[in-house]
Amino acid sequence: EDMLDEVVQKVITDRDTLTLLDLSLTHGVSEEAEDSNAVQNVLYAELCRNRTNNDKYVDGATQTLNGMPKVKKIQTNKNIVVDEGATATNWDLHDSYCEQKKTPEAHEADIQDLTASTGKGQDRTAESISGDTGNSVMTALVFSGLIITVTATRPDLEDVLMSDSFKSSLLVMERAVATNVLLAELAAYKNLPVDEDEEHLSTPTMKHLWVFVCDLTKGYKATSMAWSKKNSNILAVGYIAHDSKNPNPGLICCWSLKNPKWPERVYSCHSDVMSLDFSANNPSQLAVGMKDGSISIYSVNTEGETAEGSRKHLHPVMQVTWTKHQLKLSEKERQDVLVSVSIDGRITKWFLGGSGLDCIDLMKLKKIYDAKKKAAGGKKVEGNVLVPAIPALCFDFHPTEYGIYLVGTYDGLIHECSVSNNEQFLNTYKHHIGPVNHVEWSPFSPDVFLSCSSDWSMHLWQRGVSAPTMSFRSAYSEVHIAQWSSNSPALFAAIYKQWVEVWDLNSNIMFPTIVHHAAADVELTSLLFARDSDSVLVGDTEGQVTVYKLPNLRVGRTKKVKSLCNKNTCKHTDAEPQNKSIYVFFFIIFSWCVSFCTNSHSVLSGWLCRDPSNTLK
């Protein structure tokens, strides 16, 4: 038995070849001879001739026996056939191509991201790459080496919820849901045809559309609003906290029209926000003027908030605006310049210096002394005497002539100034008795502007004419803001404490066309016209910004305000009577009779009521 277990070595070798039979060619004719075939044919033919009559050759027959066929069966394993189909879609090819372009490190990073995102702390888990969207060829190859196990659903939920793409999907979805809710109102805002029968009311009213409000704005009042210059869906609203103990006294919210329930951006400021404006050149920059005199620029499009502080004004900044610089070559190159006006009487231009914002004074407002008083007093006002500065409350740059601007002051004067001259005013318009709260150039009529003040009145002025062309007084309350509409040349709105008035100068210059009262306990604080729609936004002390739609106020008959002004100025055209005394008396009687019948004559009567006051001056 031990012999059986022995390992015996056998060596198999190959033997040399043994030749058993070697048949060479009998004829000894080499095959390479050229005529070998011919020679052989001749020889063969001779042989066949010899055979026929020769006794040596005898014909014989043979038969081969065919064996019986036998059927033999074999069996093999079935070849397993699998049908595999793949659709090479356009995007699949694109994805594979992009994957291929990626470096191997990027691949590693991808794999690591996927393994890290699932099964936290567990070593050998990986998520299976689902194939329901179609595997691309490259990824199949790459991930073939991974261990595939199904992870628990608990970490799944968190990962999905925390991923960035989920957040962006949520945003889109929220906007979709919100716009669904507000479909009719948004269509009304955008002037799209809605199937409602339009009720022609005798008195036109503002229609309430929706409100921008959320939990964050409770306890604040809305003070200023501004549209983004590039994207007309974005609105920035500045807020002031009601009670001073609030850690965030100022708040800025950027709202989108698509979502009135939650602002797109929220920034809190260290001080009350008085005024906001978006830049036109860098549409994501928002300049904010605050109550403590500082100015910040927020960059709206980045993830974080970047605010740049500044050297301060001494007093609250009342208004900021971006305006075009005067000295550039073409329209497109004009850079925006930030200018602010504040209660310390300075109008300053800001620019980005080495460390934050820096400013240059464009103008300082000082008290104007009468020439007579100066001569009588014998004192000279220049030099060492400290001249008290006058608070400036508002300003506005001319829409076409860059460099000319108006300033409204606390003592009721409106100064017209130029950027290039920081000592003297070009012109002063004096008619208001109280502080001028708002001045604005008309966006349609050149050289016409509107001013409103706390002396309960609003005046319409023409540049160069020292007396107001028209005055509007309808209520015994301070006018906070009066703004021109950006769509109709003769439409403007004014905010009083408790109500909004909309004046349509085409129809009636004595009374406002629409008066809308706020709810009780709520005071209205800010106003803004919508740029591409007939709507007006009103902010109030509850922190709400309400959007109202204005009815179409005789859009067909819009005349420019200048033509109305022409009737009222002392320069009469041919249509008006030259001989004032007789004709004026006549016309007053006539128009009073007629004005009871039609509304259109109110324009004429308004003119006539103004005329006596003009002649008195």
Which residue do the tokens 């305006």 mark? 323
Q: How far apart are CA 469 and CA 41, in angstroms?
A: 135
Give, in order, the Cα–Cα distances in Å from 608 to each of 120, 512, 513, 605: 85, 18, 20, 5
Residue 100 binds to another protein (criterion: CB under 8 A):
no
Toward another protein, which CB reaches closer, 248 or 474?
Answer: 248
Q: Which stretch binds another protein (CB under 8 A): 176-184, 284-292, 367-375, 465-473?
A: 176-184
From the list 261-269, 354-362, 413-421, 568-576, the region that binds another protein by CB under 8 A is 261-269
Number of residues counted as binding another protein (CB under 8 A): 38
The smaller minimum CB distance to another protein, of residues 50 and 133, is found at 133
Q: Give the footprint of another protein on residues 128-157 (CB under 8 A).
A: 130, 132-134, 153, 156-157
Q: What's the min distance (Å) between Cβ of 260 and another protein?
A: 11
Stretch that binds another protein, among 260-268, 345-353, 416-424, 583-591 (CB under 8 A): 260-268
- What is the smallest separation between the CB atom of 173 and another protein, expressed in angstroms? 6
In the region spanning residues 493 to 512, those forming contacts with another protein, defined by CB under 8 A, are none
Q: Kind of pairing, strands 499-504 and 535-540?
A: unpaired
64 CB-near residues (< 8 Å, 6+ apart): none
Count of CB atoms within 10 A of residue 174's CB?
Answer: 14
Q: x-or-dash pattern for another protein, window 286-325, by CB under 8 A?
A: -----------------x----------------------
Is residue 174 a contact point for another protein (CB under 8 A)? yes
Phi then psi for 549, rounded to 5 degrees?
A: -105, 135
- Distance in Å, CB of 207 to another protein, minimum: 19
By CB under 8 A, tell whether 360 contacts another protein: no
Binding mask 508-547 for another protein (x = CB under 8 A): ----------------------------------------
Q: For residues 338 and 308, is the Cβ–Cβ distance under 8 A?
A: no
The residue count of the chain comes to 617
Q: Does 181 bind another protein (CB under 8 A)?
A: yes
Burial 464-502 (b: 16+ CB within 10 A, else e): ebebbbbbbebbeebbbbbbbbbbbbbbbbbbbeebbbb
Is 177 among the residues that bind another protein (CB under 8 A)? Answer: yes
Q: How far apart (Å, rounded) are the C-alpha atoms in residues 433 and 126?
A: 78
* Shortest reach from residue 111's CB to another protein, in Å: 15
Single-letter amino acid, residue 249:
P
| Contact flag: residue 167 with another protein (CB under 8 A) | yes
Per-residue tokens: 439: 């001045």
Please, which residue, 179 or 326, has the CB nearer to another protein? Answer: 179
Which listed residue (162, 360, 381, 510) binds another protein by CB under 8 A? Answer: 162
Within 10 Å of residue 173's Cβ, how many Cβ atoms?
A: 10
Name the β-bridge partners of 479: none
Of 177-185, 308-316, 404-412, 436-444, the segment contacting another protein by CB under 8 A is: 177-185
DSSP 8-state secondary structure symbol assigned to residue 420:
T
- Spatial CB neighbours of 273, under 8 Å, sequence gap ≥ 6: 223, 224, 238, 239, 240, 250, 251, 252, 288, 289, 290, 291
Contacting range for another protein; rule: CB under 8 A; set: 164-172, 185-193, 232-240, 526-534: 164-172
Rank residues 95 and 416 by Cβ distance to another protein and give the closer one: 95
Q: Are 395 and 405 in contact (CB under 8 A)?
A: yes
Q: How far apart are CA 169 and CA 157, in angstroms?
A: 15
Contact flag: residue 39 with another protein (CB under 8 A): no
Residues that bind another protein (CB under 8 A): 89-91, 93-95, 127, 130, 132-134, 153, 156-157, 159-163, 165-167, 169-174, 176-178, 180-181, 183, 261-262, 265, 303
